[in-house]
Amino acid sequence: MGTAPQLFVIDPIARLNPAKDSSVALMQAAQRAGVPVWAATLADLSAGPAASDAVAGHSCWVWATPVTSCEPWFTTGEPQLLPLQRFGAVWMRKDPPVDEAYLYATHLLELAERQGVRVLNRPAALRAWNEKLSALRWSHLMAPTLVASQVETLAAFAAEHGEVVLKPLGGRAGQGVVFAAAGTPGLRALLELVTAQQTLPVMVQAFLPGVAAGDKRILLVDGEPLGAVNRVPSGGAGGEFRSNLAVGGQPQATELSAAERAICAELAPALRAEGLFFVGIDVIDGRLSEINVTSPTGIREVERLGAIPLADLTIARLLQS
Question: pLDDT (tens digit, 9 = 90+) per residue, 215-245?
Answer: 999 999 999 999 999 998 765 444 555 555 5
pTM over 0.75: yes
Mean pLDDT estimate for the chain = 89
Q: What is the mean pLDDT of residues 166-173?
A: 82
Q: Residue 2's pLDDT is what? A: 57
Determine the distance from the C-alpha atom of residue 240 to the mean position of all C-alpha atoms in its chain, rounded to a whole number: 22
Query: pLDDT of 282-304, one tens digit each?
Result: 999 999 999 999 999 999 999 99
Q: Residue 188's pLDDT is what? A: 93
> How far is residue 287's CA from residue 143's CA, in Å, rounded to a whole number?
6
C-alpha to C-alpha distances, 179 to 161, 239, 246, nearest whole angstrom: 12, 10, 18
Nearest to 283 by CA among 164, 138, 159: 138
Query: pLDDT of 176-215, one tens digit each?
Result: 788 899 888 899 999 999 999 999 999 999 999 888 888 9
Q: What is the mean pLDDT of residues 86-112?
A: 95
Confirm if 45 and 7 have CB atoms less than 8 A apart: no
Q: What is the mean pLDDT of residues 85-95?
A: 95
Burial class of 52 by CB neighbour count within 10 A (0 to 12, 13 to 18, 19+) = exposed
| Confidence at 55, pLDDT banded by 50, 70, 90 | confident
Q: Residue 151's pLDDT is what? A: 96
Q: Which of 148-162, 247-261, 267-281 has the lowest mean pLDDT?
A: 247-261
> How far is residue 21's CA from residue 23's CA, in Å, rounded to a whole number?
6
Q: Residue 126's pLDDT is what? A: 97
The set of catalytic residues is 132, 167, 217, 231, 242, 282, 290, 292
C-alpha to C-alpha distances, 81 to 3, 41, 52, 57, 295, nearest whole angstrom: 20, 13, 14, 5, 24
| Confidence at 165, pLDDT banded by 50, 70, 90 | very high
Q: Residue 3's pLDDT is what? A: 81
Helix (H, G, I), strand (E, B) or coil at 247: helix
Neighbours of 95 (CB within 10 A): 17
Q: Which of 18-22, 49-53, 212-216 has the lowest mean pLDDT?
A: 49-53
Q: Residue 285's pLDDT is what? A: 93
Whether pLDDT at 31 is above 60 = yes
Confirm if 26 and 20 have CB atoms less than 8 A apart: no
| Confidence at 155, pLDDT banded by 50, 70, 90 | very high
